[in-house]
Each structure stands twice: as C-alpha cells, then as structure tokens.
Structure 1
C-alpha cells in the first residue's frame, strides 16, 4: 500500500475532528440564552468571528505548511482549538465567547480548512485527486455525524460546559496520530506521488508565507475566474455553514422540535453528505466541474425555498426528505471548485483555494450574523431561508460565467510551487494558466 493512503487517513481523522469542533456553538445557543440571557444575535456574533477567521486563515495556512511543514502547523492548530474550547468553561461575558470560540477556535480550525486537503492531495496524489479530495471533504460531514448527537446529548443532559471540555480533550487526542504518522512529502520516504511517473520539481520555500499568500492573491485577483469562483463559493458558505449549520437546530426548536432530534437530523445531513461529496469527487474526475457546480447550486436553492413549510414539532417524512436531499448537496461543491482552481491556477492552487475558501467563510459569517438578527427581529427564520434560495440562483449565474476550458498542464496539477522561471514567452506555465483564466 502506498504511504499516500496513510497520510490521507491521518488527514481524514484531523478533518473529522475539526468539523465536530466547529459544530458546537449551534448546539449551545439555547443553553447560553437560558443561563446568561444572551440573544441569538449575540451568540451568532461569535460564530461569525469563528467563520471569518476560519476562512481568512486558510490561505496563510497553506503557505505556512509549505514553509514550516504540515505536521507542525496542524499540531499547533489542534492545540489552539483545545485551548480555546477549554477556556470557554470560565466565561461569563459575551466578549469571552467571541475571544475563545470566535478567535482561538476560528484560527485553529481555519489552519485545517480546505487548503489542508488541497495540500495533501496535491503533494501525495496525482491519480485519484478528485476522489481523495471528495473523501477528505466528506470528513467534515463525518465530523458532524460523530460529534453532533453526542454533544447534543451532553448539552441537554450534563450542560454545555461538559460538551466544550469533551471538544478540548478530543482536539488534543487528534494531535497524536499527526505527530506519529504524518509525513511532509513522498520524497521524504523515497516515493513518488501516487500515480506519478517522475518526481515533481522541488518546492520553493524561500520568503515569508505572508508574502507568498499576498502575491498569489494579487495575481489571482487579476483574473475573472477567481472572482467568479470566490463569489459562488461565498454563496456556498452562506447557505451551508452560515445558515443551516448555525441556525437549523434553533429554527427547528422554534417549531417545537427537541434539540437532540434536530441535532440528529443535522448529523443525518452529514451521513448523506459523505455519499454526495465522495460521489462528487468521482464525478469531478470524469465530468466538467463547471456543469457540476451549476447543478449543485440549482438543486440547493430549490430545497431551501421549500424548507420553511417542512418544519414540525416532531420527525416527519417531509423534513426527512429535505435532510436527505440537502445532505447529498451539502459540500459537494468543494471537489469541482478545487478542480477549477487547479485548472486556472496550477501549482498555486492550494493558496488560491485558500482565498476562495476565505470568501466562502466571509459569506458564511455574514449570513450567520444576519440570520440571527432576522430571528430576533421577526421571530422566525423564514426570510433567511427564502433569501438563501435566491442567492443559490445567483451562484448558478456566476458559474455560467466560468470558462469551459483552459486546463493546466498535468505537471502543474500536482507539483508544488517551483522556483520562478524567467519572464516572457518561456516563463512559468502557471502564469499562462492564470492569464488564460
């Protein structure tokens, strides 16, 4: 067995854990309201800070992994999550929730965001990139599957403090396999990337991670493809993590559904998202990524428009049908979005996807906060669901604007950033790819 599968397995464990950690504030919303009198908007503000930092950290984390190594960055991120969630048990003021769960957990989880999966697949896999990307993306759904029902039961039966202590201990435990099994590159073990015929060019690790991240952003921002991908992915974040991930449980509770039942439904979304995202990775290896995104956003928008009529005080077939349908689409957008980043930006794809993911999280943060304000103002979430359905229609239009062709050369798809070549007609292939995008 190629060691790439071991590295992918460790990455899977990390991503499962980080997804479960991020899901906790939505479970605590009613508990914090009861104990401290904090409104939905107040708790949502901490979630918004978390989501924003989760996104803004991603492009710098990708560059830091190139500079200092995946293992060091990942372990530090897990310990940051453990610290932030552990300190939450001492809080008495809203700003402390923002500091602990918004800033510390946001920075830690952002360091293991989509750029982490992109870095792993880019370094270790030339064959099966789409499939492995889909599996690692689905790890986020598996995190919800593993943690959501457990944490909901802990919050309901033992209080929210017990739940955040469990999160802190789990983040510390996940760091162990990273230390023991993670390796930086196939060359460290005398191997080629899985499916490669020759060793990729050695990476350029000179200069600061900050400078590289900003340089890549400047180059990518000059292309139409970047803004279309960033805009559509911002809507993806707004309609998943920002709205459903943060507010589905309190919205269901508004209709009389128990928190544990609503958490179970959100976990069920995770089950079907595993199937949908792995299938999306398989489709991405075989079909046009642009067409896949158009289909995914259109189906998501339709399902959100129907959601306000499906809530009930108990588990009934209509809401179950929504959960299955929506779950298949939850983050199925990630594999084709990463593939389009590779197509247009070549070796800089991990950092570019980090910036696209930042847009995803900014969209999520805005909607997480605005939906909380809408709930406090109107007494329900109906307006938020309808607006989200309209945003998905806008995402379809943005994806229609993407170029159908213009793939990067195969060597660019898996190789890390190589030393710069002379400018001009014989300059680096990635510049040609960016210009074409």
Structure 2
C-alpha cells in the first residue's frame, strides 16, 4: 500500500510526458519555419511559391513516411536514443541552412534531412509514450502530446517572424539552433524509455512489467504490419480520413496561410500571430478531444471535427477579404479543431489493431496524413501561381473535409481484428 501510494504521488511518467511535450513543441516549431521564409526567399533568391512549396512537400512526405519506421526504431533502440539522434540531425541541418545558395540545397537540408529527422519526433512518438506509460488517461495524454504541434507554432512563429522581418531570416535560424542546443541535454538527462527503468508500473496499473524485446527487422516489421492492417476496411477508412486531415491542416493552412494573408496586405507578423492564436485554441481543443475520446464513440467525434473544419475552410476566402474580425473568428473556430482528430483516430486504431501494433499501424495512418499534406502544400502553391489567389485550394479542402466526415461514421465499431 505504501509503495502504491508513493507511486501515485510521484509518477515519473509525467516527467517523460513533459520532456516529450517540449521536444514535440520544438520539432513542430522548426517544421513551421518555411512558411515564414516563403516571402523572404522569394525576394532574396527569386524562388516562387511553387519552388518553396515543393521543398515543404518533400519535407511533409518524408516526415510521414518515417512514422512507422520510427516506431520500430523506438522499439529497437529506445525513445531517448532516437530523440537525441533526431535532434542532433535537425541541429546540423539548421547550422548549414544560412550557407545555402541554391534550391537543391534547400531540398536536401529541409526537404530530406529535416523531414526525416522530425519524422522521428512526430505523433508516433506521442502514441508510443502514451501506450507505454499509461493505462488510465491515455486519451488525455495523446491529446496533450498531439497539441504540442500547435503549441510549437504558438511559441515559435510570432517570434521567428518578428526576427525575420526585423533583422533577417538567418537570425531566425540561429535562434532555432540555440533552442535545439538547450533541448538536447534535457532529453539526455531526464528522458526514460519505459516505466520498468524506474521500477514503476504504467499509470493505472499495479503490475511492473518488463518491456518486450523487439523481434524482427526494423525495416521489414513495419511493412508486414502494413500488409496485415491493409486487409481490413477500417484501416483504409482511417487512412482516408487522415489523408484529408493532412490536406486541410499542415499542408494547406500551416504552409500557406501566411503568404495568403500577404496577398491581402496583412503583415507577416500579424499572420503568424493568427497561426499562434490557432495554436492556443488547438491546445484547448485537442486536449479536450482527448478527454472526450476516453468517454465517447470516436467515429462520431471525427464526424463533427471534420464537418466543422470543412465549414470553416469554405468560409476562409471570405474572411480574408472581409477583415481582421472575420479572420479572428476563423482562427478561433478552426484552431479548436486543428488536430483534434488525432486522439479519436489513435483510440480507434488501438482498439481495432491492438496495443502492441498500435504505434506502427498509426504510423502508416500518419503516412496517409502526410501524403495529403504534401499534395496540398504543392498544389496550393501551384494553384496560387496559376490563379493569383488561394480561393480554390481553400474551398476544395473544405469540401474534402465534409467527405471525410461521412467516411468516419462508416468505420466499423472497434473490435480486435489483428492478433
């Protein structure tokens, strides 16, 4: 009883959640940097929106493709080692960025290296932490860690946009390098791989269980998991809805809202502030989504999330033309729903495919998310160059979200399909 009481008073898993939250904040903040640099790069290097968008598209694609393999790497080598390796790689890419002079260098540094490195510090990391350290409140933990992506925007975008406007984009890069340098020792000192390392049971359990050794090949095991999961319609519906999720969030709004505001004479710092405001409300919305996911049918939560997001995106072109008040309404409404879809999607995937496979299965679902985001990032820039505005890509994304809402309720009720 005494031991159980102490464990309840001080559960080290909350330290792990805090360190993971900080890491995901920094990773998300760094990934959002190209949206700030789109206009400065256009002026300094002569790169068009489609040029920079192509780099963002590669980054988003590799970020997603890395997900299931990063889940296997974390099973094999531990979360701390994977996190440290990724942070060092991101820091090296940042350090080389101010020296670049050609688009192909931006492709390598940000499209490939940052894309692969941040792919190891994505939603799959949050799902792995939640599954290892928590039995109770798992939905809330997933919600908190998922919301870190928006919080990264909240903290980074206005600051980096201000630095970029006042003294140049290179100094924004130096600021990001300094943050990485502070974060690396924090992860090295306080991160732990599994509750067993600190002699604890997962939160909500009284049994201390040693981690199961990873068996299999870190490259083939995720592919076998995809093969097994793809035999079931629920996987394709989850992946399909997440494709539209990525199409309508980081690929579109995260990449193009700032330059879209620039088309209407709205300063970059103000536009970055709108994204930051979305981050505040997404932190609230996604955390609340985790709480709701622990209590209600995730399929109907997804129905409402996608439906409301679709309405807000259809409204966005009008909001841009009307003024700041309407944009504030959009930022609040859309922000509450930004990535609230993650907790119910994780819960459904875990219930259907089982706890052991959940990380890798969700990793493949995230691949679909990033494929949608990658396509949206490129096509929106291309359509903007062709048509002179973002009205078509924003409206298109809104209607695709309404389709995703219908798809969500067609997912079969969770039951163990894969053993």
Q: TM-score range by the shorter chain?
A: over 0.9
Secondary structure in 2 aligned to 1:330?
A: coil
Partner of 2:418: 434
Q: 1:8 and 2:20 equivalent? A: no
Pairing 1:189-338 to 2, within 5 Å after superposition: 189-200=198-209, 202-312=211-321, 316-338=324-346
Distance 1:50 1:202 in 2: 33
Partner of 1:94: 103
Partner of 2:179: 170
Distance 2:87 2:181 in 1: 6
Alignment match of 1:339 (pick from 338, 342, 347): 347
- Deviations 1:146-174 (Å, cap 9, x if unpaired)? 10100000110111111122222222321
Contact 2:194 2:211 in 1 (8 A): no
Deviation above 2 Å: which 4+ runs of structure 1? 197-202, 432-435
1:312 offset after TM fit, Å? 4.5
1:235 offset after TM fit, Å? 0.6
Contact 1:223 1:434 in 2 (8 A): no
Unaligned runs of 5+ in 1: 407-431
1:380 offset after TM fit, Å? 0.5
- Deviations 1:299-327 (Å, cap 9, x if unpaired)? 0000100110111496x211101100000
Partner of 1:414: none
- Alpha-carbon distance change, 127 to 79 in structure 1, aligned in 2, over 3 angstroms: same
1:404 offset after TM fit, Å? 2.5
Alignment match of 1:377 (pick from 386, 389, 393): 386
Partner of 1:64: 73
Contact 2:320 2:327 in 1 (8 A): yes
Distance 2:209 2:372 in 1: 36
Secondary structure in 1 aligned to 2:270?
A: helix
Secondary structure in 1 aligned to 2:83?
A: helix
Distance 1:106 1:146 in 2: 20
Distance 1:350 1:169 in 2: 31
Question: How many positions carry a matched residue from both structures?
Answer: 409
1:200 offset after TM fit, Å? 4.4
Secondary structure in 1 aligned to 2:413?
A: coil
- Alpha-carbon distance change, 113 to 182 in structure 1, aligned in 2, over 3 angstroms: same
Partner of 2:3: none
Contact 2:196 2:211 in 1 (8 A): no
Secondary structure in 1 aligned to 2:101?
A: coil
1:331 offset after TM fit, Å? 0.3
- Alpha-carbon distance change, 156 to 141 in structure 1, aligned in 2, over 3 angstroms: same
- Give the TM-score of the pair, scaled to structure 1: 0.92
Secondary structure in 2 aligned to 1:242?
A: coil
Contact 1:83 1:104 in 2 (8 A): no
Distance 2:239 2:397 in 1: 17
Secondary structure in 2 aligned to 1:311?
A: helix
Q: 1:132 and 2:116 equivalent? A: no
Partner of 1:27: 36
Distance 1:345 1:367 in 2: 29
Contact 1:301 1:390 in 2 (8 A): yes
Distance 1:110 1:328 in 2: 24
Partner of 1:418: none
- Deviations 1:395-432 (Å, cap 9, x if unpaired)? 112212101242xxxxxxxxxxxxxxxxxxxxxxxxx5
Unaligned runs of 5+ in 2: 1-9
1:277 offset after TM fit, Å? 0.3
Partner of 2:48: 39
Alignment match of 2:154 (pick from 145, 151, 174): 145
Distance 2:173 2:370 in 1: 22
